[in-house]
Copies of this chain bind each other. A is one copy, B any other.
Amino acid sequence: MGERTGEVTCGVGVSLDGYVAGDGLSEEKPFGDVDPTKMHRWRFEEPERHREEMAYLSEEAGAYIMGRNMFGPPGPEYDRTWRGWWGDEPPYHAPVFVLTHRSREPVDMKGGTTFTFVTDGIESALRQARAVADGRPVLIAGGADVVNQYLSAGLIDELWLHTVPITLGHGRRLFEGVPRLRFEPVEVRGTSLVTHVRYRVLGPWQN
């Protein structure tokens, strides 16, 4: 709260070469041609750290925004009945706004997570998220395309990168197509499986 009222935060896992996921996303392959146990190995092998990270975010965040590809696999059949990757009780415990092209009724999950589908763009999703976040930060959860859209629009205040020490070579790349930005690292820590850096987004720059 306090000075962070209404802030927009983004937390995303990236490979050392800047990819958030591989190519070829499907129901069987939520990270495309990258095994999630390799891409997010620290979340499996350092569950305490993962829980802390998630608890911190869910205590902080008043609402979440995510892209359609993060919510579910591609394909219109998943636009009708899919209820997310996270089982009956997703780890968000807050309203989640899903950016999509197909309208759909909201879905209530256990533990306080609701999925609301937004078809009129990123600014509308942010307005709706802020309206329910009650002054707490709104968290942009991914994937890369959505994060890049919000970065390009200058709507993200803080970016948390969880850099995993593997390269992917191709896939969905963070910062792809985003105008040049300046940041300030405000926190750096890590283990042998992940490096966490929290950045303030300072704004655009030109040479």
Q: Are B181 and A167 in contact (CB under 8 A)?
A: yes
Q: Are B167 and A175 in contact (CB under 8 A)?
A: yes
Contact with B along A170-207 (1 / 0, CB 8 A): 00001100111111111011111011010100000101
Number of this chain's copies in the complex = 2
Q: Are A165 and B182 in contact (CB under 8 A)?
A: yes
Docked pose: A194 CA to B197 CA in angstroms: 11
Q: What's the tally of chain A residues with a CB closer than 8 Å to chain B?
A: 36
Q: Are A169 and B178 in contact (CB under 8 A)?
A: yes
The 7 listed contacts between A and B (C-beta, < 8 Å) are: A16-B183, A18-B18, A166-B181, A167-B180, A167-B181, A185-B194, A188-B195
A17: CB under 8 A from chain B?
Answer: yes
Min distance, Cβ A150 to any Cβ of chain B, angstroms: 14
Q: Are A184 and B192 in contact (CB under 8 A)?
A: yes
Contact with B along A81-117 (1 / 0, CB 8 A): 0000000000000000000000000000000000000
List chain B residues, Cβ under 8 A from A178.
17, 167, 169
Min distance, Cβ A154 to any Cβ of chain B, angstroms: 13
Closest to A196 in B: B188
A33: CB under 8 A from chain B?
Answer: yes
List chain B residues, Cβ under 8 A from A197.
163, 190, 195
Docked pose: A199 CA to B192 CA in angstroms: 9
A12: CB under 8 A from chain B?
Answer: no
